[in-house]
Structure formats: structure tokens, C-alpha cells
Structure 1
């Protein structure tokens, strides 16, 4: 395995702060994202390298291991254990006939980290592959219904189903689609974090939605009907006479889909905001003054 300089990939130095790492990653990820570079194999490879570098350098513990062990950073604990065993063997067999030679110790480390040939003395230790982390940005309307989407990971297309009701920041794991295992070990997983962008007029609270609608003064006083938007269409509401500003009504089942609960929805909460009329005519002012005297 050739050494990969993650600092060079992100264009930062080894003294870069966590903030610097995050900033560099976001800048490069936007530049080389597959959605912005369709059918561009070079950009696709670069995007993969950027994500891999960020996975290591954005995690303080992983970064410390990488700085110390380089390409074998994932197996730092095993490496330390192997070195300890080597020292114990050397101490136990030093000067004794039939003991391990330096060549034996080299084979031990080669087998530990996958460097030995198939004809080596020891059994190669298997290690699980690295997990890949990815962020998937979706609009709120995209997760109102269950749908399928194709992701490109390691030059492979993965078809995934995104259930309706996925929340911002939610994480799902796709088993076996991460880094390749070492010495025949299992592959890592692909871990996807959802970033849900809300461009709608609704405020989401899990499966419930909230919206504020304008209500004219006369309808608020006398009652009537009002057409209001829901997430999937319009509905007509009956307004009670003398409705007060800030009154909230609930439309049951008109909210957002509940995650992995087929056919179940949250509620829609509507808050009325009474609008005071402006630019009154003389006649209107006279009528309001009469009303004021009556009150």
C-alpha cells in the first residue's frame, strides 16, 4: 500500500487546525462533487480522495494515529501490541539457540500488516476496511415521499432507497460499501448523513409542520372561510367569528410523513396572523368611528 498524504490532498499543512481542515474539505468537496462534474472520472476520483482525507484528519484520534503510523494508522493499536510482543520475544530468546532471527520478526510484521507473500511463514491477520462518510443534501420536498437515488462510491454506483420522513442530521449505514478490507477482511461501511434543506414556507418539527397565515380583520371578526396551503395541496378552513390574533388550529394528519411508518403523518399547525387594514377611505373611517362609539 503506497503512502497517501492526506494533508497534501486537502492542501493544508500538518499544523492546520480542525477549522482549517473543515474549511478546506468543504471547499474542495463542492468543487469536485459528482453532481457538478457528471461523467468526470478525474473529479470522481478526487472527490473520493478528499472524503477519505477528511475522514482521517477531521477526527482528532484518527489524525493522531495517522501522524504517527502513516498508511497503517487504522491499525495503530495492533502495531503497538506487535512491537510489545517483539520486545518480549527478543528478551525471552536473546542468546538462546533455536530462537527467532531478525528475519523471523520481519515476517511477523509483514504478516500483521499484509506485506508478506502467500508463501510467508505466518498467517496474515485480517482487518476490516475503513468506513466511508458522506453527506447527502436533499430538499425537504425530496423526503416527503420514499424514493430511490443512485450514489457513486469508489467508482461504483449504489442504488439506495431513501424512506419518506428522513430528518436533518439523520445517519444511515450501508453495509460493505466502505473501504476494502485488508488481507481478505470485511469491507467497511458507507455512512451517510442527511442534510435536509428547507425552502418551503413550513417549519418542520419532526413529523409536525407549522405555518403562519394572514387573516383579514373582517373575516376574523365576522367569520368565514379561508384557503390555506398544506405540504401537498390546499384546503378550505372555516373561520369562527371573533377569531383572535395568534389563534392556532390543528389539521390532523396534514403534517410530514413519519419515518418508516407507512401511511402515518404528523399534524399541521396553523397560526392566524390578523392583518389590520391600511389606507382607509373616509367612509370606512366614519364607520369604524361609529363602531368605536358603540363599543
Structure 2
């Protein structure tokens, strides 16, 4: 398995701050987003790589673990395999519901198949989750002891749009296809339990359960805080000065907003109820906050420059 240099993928230094990492991710995400590059497999793979890199480097705990892993990996490569290979056991977690083990079933749907996170990510951070022994026992047939089947743990990756609208996913486990309904408003890190979808019980015991932790990809346009959404909206200098209307793309479609005359750069507008839906609470949603980002005109003609000089002269500048 090849080592993945997440710093190189994002194009940042190892000393980069979280803010620098976020800015660089947004820049690359806008460039390689599938909506901007339809039917472009190369761009799609690039978008997955930068999303994976951002997922790790924007999380303090994951970044610390990744940095420690990288240092050990470099020493291993320099020394060669003379000492018996790289010690993955220091990093790969093992155990029950809170940890990870190797699972031999068909789990690719949990991670989007070829569209999910890489083997490198899965190995280091537990993307391939497996069964954990529940340890629960009951009295079985013929007076013997029966055991509840092992619980399975997995992660399911969603886009922000999927989390906003809700979606259905088909996953394969133990040779069976399970149809999972994701309700609108789910949060990153939320765990869904599918009772009885784990390993079969022993000696007549009940089946184990399947625990799916939802992971929502960072979005290049929107930032989510609770059920509120935040975004930047580019507005022309002329519209900000004179006022008018602007069309804004939201997760639920286009909306028109009114721009008051002499709107300042950085002004924040609030659209009530246009944020994220509250999980399983029909009719309740957060708000959308739109930060005005003034766009300075470029490539001015001589006539436009003259008009700006006249305006500056009228204002004594």
C-alpha cells in the first residue's frame, strides 16, 4: 500500500495552520468539484483525494496521528525492510464497537465503492470496520448457552446535499443487500443502529447489530454550524453601491435577495428557515447566513477609468 502525502495533495506546508488548510481546500474543491467537471473521471478522483486530505488535516486528532505515522514511515523507508517490515499495529485499531478489525464481507458500499476513501485512509483511520464481540449470552436450546452475534461497525460517507435532502443507500453485508434510509438533517459523526443486521447469533442467540457512523464531506460553498448554514455571495461593486437583486444558489434551490444601496463589504444577510432541516423534526430548519463579498471590477476600459476619476473628483479624492 502506497503512502499518501496529504500535505502535497493539498499543496500546503506541514506547518500550515487550519485556516490556511481550509482556504486551500476550498480553492481546490471549487476547481475540481464534480458539478464543475461533469463526466471528468480525473477531476473526480482529484476531488476525492483533496476531500480525504482535508478530512485528515482539518481534524487535530487525525492530523497528529497522521504526522506520527509519516515520521515512522520515513524511517522505515530509509532503513529498508531489514527489521521485518512496518509495524501497522501501532496505528490500526482493533476491537469491538469502538474499534476496527478486518472484515471479509462486501463492505464497499459503506465507503462508496471506488468512489470512497482510499485503502490508506481506511487502514490508518478505520475506514474498514468490522465485527466486535458483544459478549451477551442467553440460555439456548437444550439448556446450553446461546450468544448474541457480533456487532458490525462501519462508516457511510455522504455529501452535504445528501445530508440536507436525505437519501437511500444500498449496502452489501454477508451476501445480503440492505436498503438504508438516511433522513434529512443528519449530522457528521451521527451513528445509526440497524438491529439484527450484524453477525448471526450462536446456539439460537439473537443476531448482532450494525452500527453505521455517518461522515459528511466538507462542502466547498457552505459551512454548517448546527442547523445553520453560512456562505459567501459575490456581489458586484455597482449593485452594492446602487442596490438591486441577486440570485443565490441554496441547497434547496435558487432564491432572490435584495441588496440595499451602499451595502458594505462583509455585510451578512439572514434567510430564515433556509438552513439545515432539524433531524426528524418536520417543518423546523435553521437559517442561512449570506456574507456579501464585493467583487472589484477588472480590465476597465479607458472610458470606465475616466468615469471613476470623475466620481473620485466629485467626492474630493
For this structure pair, what is the TM-score category when the shorter chain's length is used for normalisation?
0.5 to 0.7
How many residues in Structure 1 have an aligned counterpart in Structure 2? 211
From 297, 306, 309, give the equivalent of 1:277.
297
Structure with the greater alpha carbon radius of gyration? 1
**TM-score, normalised by the number of residues in structure 1:** 0.61
Question: Residue 33 in 1 paired to residue 101 in 2?
Answer: no
Partner of 1:108: none
Distance 1:214 1:27, change over 3 A: farther
State the Cα deviation string for residues 38-85 of structure 1 (Å, max 9, x = none).
Answer: xxxxxxxxxxxx743xx55xxxxxxxxxxxxxxxx765x99xxxxxxx
Instruction: Report the CA distance between 1:240 and its aligned residue.
Output: 0.5
Is the partner of 2:306 in helix, strand or coil? helix
CA distance in 2, matches of 1:276, 1:268: 25
Contact 2:193 2:209 in 1 (8 A): yes
Is the contact between residue 171 and residue 180 of structure 2 (CA under 8 Å) also seen in structure 1?
Answer: yes
Partners of 2:230 and 2:265 in 1: CA distance: 16
SS of 1:144's equivalent? helix
* Residues 136 and 286 of structure 1, relative CA distance in 2, 3 Å threshold: same
**Residues 1:170 and 1:251: Cα distance change in structure 2 (over 3 Å):** same
Counterpart residue number, 2:175 = 155
Structure 1 runs (4+) deviating above 6 angstroms are 25-29
Q: Do structure 1's residue 286 and structure 2's residue 306 form an aligned pair?
A: yes
Query: Deviation of residue 285 (structure 1)?
Result: 2.5
Give 1:135 shift: 1.2
Report if the CA contact (8 A) 1:140-1:200 is conserved. Answer: no
Partner of residue 197, structure 1: 217
Instruction: State the Cα RMSD in Å.
Output: 3.6
**TM-score, normalised relative to structure 2:** 0.57
Query: Is residue 2:227 matched to residue 1:227?
Result: no
Matched with 1:188 is 208
Q: Distance in 2 between matches of 1:147 and 1:222?
A: 42
Unaligned runs of 5+ in 1: 1-11, 38-49, 57-72, 79-111
Give 1:163 deviation, angstroms: 0.7
Q: 2:260 aligns to what?
A: 240
Structure 2 residue aligned with 1:259: 279
- The 2-side partners of 1:288 and 1:176 are apart by 71
Unmatched segments (≥5 aa) in structure 2: 1-83, 95-99, 115-127
CA apart distance, 1:294: 2.6
